[in-house]
Structure 1
Amino acid sequence: MSTQLTTPTDRQSAEALARSKGEPDWLVAQRGEAAELAGTIGWPKPEKVRIERWNLTAVGRYEKPAAAGAVSELPAIVRELVSEGTENLLVQRNSGAVWKQVAGELSGKGVIFTDLETACREHGDLVQQYLFKAVSKDEDKLTALNAAIWNGGVFVYVPKNVEVELPLQAILYNDDQESTFAPHILIVADNHSRVTYVDCVITDPAAAASPFVHPSIVEVFVKPGAHVRFGSIHSMGETGVDMTIRRAVIENDGRIEWIIGDLNDGNTLSETKSVLKGQGSTSDAKVISVGKNAQQNSLTTQAVHFGKSSDSNMVTRAVMKDSASAIINGITKIEHGATKANGVQTEKVLMLSPKARGDANPILLIDEDDVTAGHAASVGQVNPEQVYYLMSRGISKQDAERLIIYGFLAPVVSEIPIESVRGQLQRLLERKLEG
C-alpha cells in the first residue's frame, strides 16, 4: 500500500527517520524544515502540463536494502549496464546504496565517489557547503519533498587539478514500488579538475505494477576552469512518475556538458538548467525523449547567463507516437551585465501518429544589448521527401522511416561516453519506437 504524501513528510517523522539512520544534526534539522515546507507549498507549474493531475502521492516508505557482496549478485538488468572492467561504480536499490567501489588511484588523489548518505556522515563539512545550494529546498513542493525524504544518492568530489580519465558510473534502480526511491546527486568539481559522470535510472519491468513517484534532484558545481560531463538515461515503468530537477552552477572558464535521455514509459517532468555565473563559462545541453501510449512529457532546458563572454548551446529532440505528448521549453536568459554572451537553442519534435502532440516553445529573455542569441524550433512528421529519396536507393519505406528517426536522435545518442550505456540507450529506443 502506497504511503500518502502528508504522512512521510511531517516534521516529526522526517526527523525521527534521519536520527534512526545516524545522520548529523544539521541534516536532521534540514529534513525537518523541508518536511514542514512540503505540506504548505505547491507543485511546480510547467507550461501547458497540469502535473497536479498525475498520481503524486505514491512516494512509498523508507526500507534499507541489503548490501550486495559482489557485482555478480546484482540483477541482470543492472549487470548489463555495468561498463566492462569498471573500477568506479555505485549502485542504489530502492532506498539506499547496495554496492560501491572506486579505484584506489582516485582515492589516493582525494577523489570522493560514494553515496550521499555516507558522504553526509563522513564528509559533512564539505557536503553542507553545497547541498541544496544550487536548488533551494523551498522552491516548490518537489524540492521540499526531496529535501525531506531523499535517500541513497551520489556524492562526487574532484580536488583541484585532478583529472578523472575513466567515467564514474552509477546505476539507480527500483524493484519495489512500496519503497521510497528519491536519490539526490551532488557533484563538486574543484578548480581546473575534470570528470565524466554517467548514471542510469531504471525500474525492473517485472516489479513495476504499482504506482510510484521518483522525486529526484541533481546539483553540479563547476569551479573555475573545471569541466564536468554529465550523462543520464532514465527508463522507468509506465506506472511511475519521474520528476527530476537538474541544475549546474558554472564559474569562470568552467564547462558543463549535459547528455540526457528521458525514455520513461510513464509521465515525466524533466528540467535541466545551467547557471553561467562566471566569465567565459560554457554549457552544452543535449536532451532526447521518446513517448508512447498516452504518456505526458514536460521537458525544460534552461541557460541563465550572468558571466561575460559566457556561452550556451541547447538541443532538445523528442519523438512522440500513439497519443503521447511532449511540451518542450527552451529558455535562454541573458542578464544585464553579461556582455558578449552567446545563447543558442534548438527544439524539434517528430510526431509518428496523428494523435501524438508536440509543442516546442523557444524563449529568449535578453536584458543586455551586446550579446548574440538565436533559436530554432520545429514540430512535424517524418519528411516524405526524405523517405522517397531513401526508397529510390532501394530501401523499404519502413527502414527509411527508421533511419530518419535514428538520424534525428543521433546527436544525443552518439555522445553517451560509456559503450554499455550507449548500447542500452539504443535498445531502449528500439523498444519504444518499434514496440
Structure 2
Amino acid sequence: MNLRIKYVLLILVLHGVIIYLAFRVLYENKVVFIASELLVLVSLYFSYAIFRDVHRPLQYILSGIEAIRDQDFSITFRPTGNREVDELIAVYNSMIEQLRIERTQLAEQHYFLEKLIKASPIAILILDFDDHLSEINPKAQDLLGLSPLDQSWPNRPLATLNHPLTPHLIPLKNGDHQTIAINGIETYKVQRSFFMDRGFQRPFIMVEELSEELLASEKKAYGKVIRMMAHEVNNTVGAINSIIDSTQRYLLKQEENQFSAALAVAHSRNERLNLFMRRFADVVRLPQPQLEYRDFNGVLQDATVLYQPLFVEKGVQLRFTTSPLPVRIKMDVQQMEQVLINIFKNALEACVAGQQVEVVLAANNLCIRNNGTPIPKGNEHLLFTPFFSNKTEGQGIGLTLIRDILMGHGWKFSLRTEEDGWTEFRIWWG
C-alpha cells in the first residue's frame, strides 16, 4: 500500500468519524449540524489541496528516481509556480544537468582513451584483479601472435601466453620496469602499473619494442668501425700486394724460386684478409631486398641440393619436407639463398655423423632443426649479436647477416634449443 492510499484512507476515516460524532451530538440542532457538515466538506477540500501540493513533489521525486535508475539524464521538469516545489525542481534540474555533462565527458574521455590505446604503438595488456587478461590492444595482439578473431585469451592467466616474454612479465610488481632482451633479436622495455577501478588497484602492463631502434643504433656503430677497418686494410693490402708483385717478378728473373713462393703465399694471405674484411663490409652494405613473388619450395630445393654433398660427406642425414601446395611469397631470392646457406652451414657444423637435419616448409613458416650440439643455455640471448660466436674460429657475421636480411623482408624468426634437445631455426611470414 503506497503513501497516497494511506493518506486518502486516513482523511476519509477521520472525516467519517467527525461526521458520525456531529450527527450523534448535534442532530437535534439542525442549524449547528448543517454548519458542522459544511465545515467537514471545507476540511475535505483543504485536505485534498494539501494532499495535491504534497503529492506533486513526491511525483517529481519518483519520476526523477525512475529517470536516474534508467540512466536517462535528459528529463527535466518545468516550474509549477509553487515556491517550495519550484525550489525542489531547480535542485533536481541542476543535478541532472551536472550528471548529464559529467556522463558526456566521461563517455568522450572513455572513447578517446579507447582509441588511444588501440592506436598506441606500445603493447598494452590490461589485467583483472586476479591477474587474468581482461583487455589487450592490437599491438599486443600482434606481439603475442594472436589473431584479431581469436577470442580465447580473455580471462586467461598471464602465464598461459605462449611467448618468450611471458616469464619476464609474471614476476613484475606494480611500479616495476625493466629492459628485456630475448634471443639477441628482440629487446623490450616493460613496465607494470595500475589504475583505480571501483576503489581497487587494477593492474596493466605496457610493452615497448626497442628492437628496431637498438638495431639501427648498433648497426650504425659497428658499421662505422667496419668501414674504417676496411678502408685501412684495403689501403695497406693494396700497397703491399703491389710491392709483392714487383718483388716477385724481380726474383723470378733472378731465379730465386724459394723467395718467390714465399711471396706468393703472402699475396694469397693478403687476398684472404681482403675477403675477410669484405664479409664484414657486406653486413653494412646489405642492399634493400628486391622483392618478387617466388615459390619457396623451389628456392629451398635449390639450396638443399647445393648443400646435399656436404651432408653426405660428413655422414649427416638431411630430411626435406616440402609444402604440398606452392608457397608463393615476396622475397629477394639471392638474399634468401644466403640465409638458407648460412643456416645449413651452422646446422651441419653442430652435427656429427649419424645425426639429422630436418627441413620442413609449411604455408606460413619454415623450420630447419637439428639434433646436434645444443646452444649453450647462457648464450641464447647473444646469438644474433654482431661478432659473437659459439665457435672458437667463428666471426659472428653469419647470424647477423641472417638477422638483417630477414628483418629487411619483415619476417619474424627465432633460434633456440627446445626441451627435447633439437635446435630449431624457425621463420614466419605473412
Q: TM-score, normalised by structure 1?
A: 0.20
* Higher RCO (Cα < 8 Å, 6 or more apart): 1
Structure with higher strand content: 1
Structure with higher helix content: 2
Q: TM-score, normalised by structure 2?
A: 0.20
For the pair shown, the structure with the greater C-alpha radius of gyration is 2
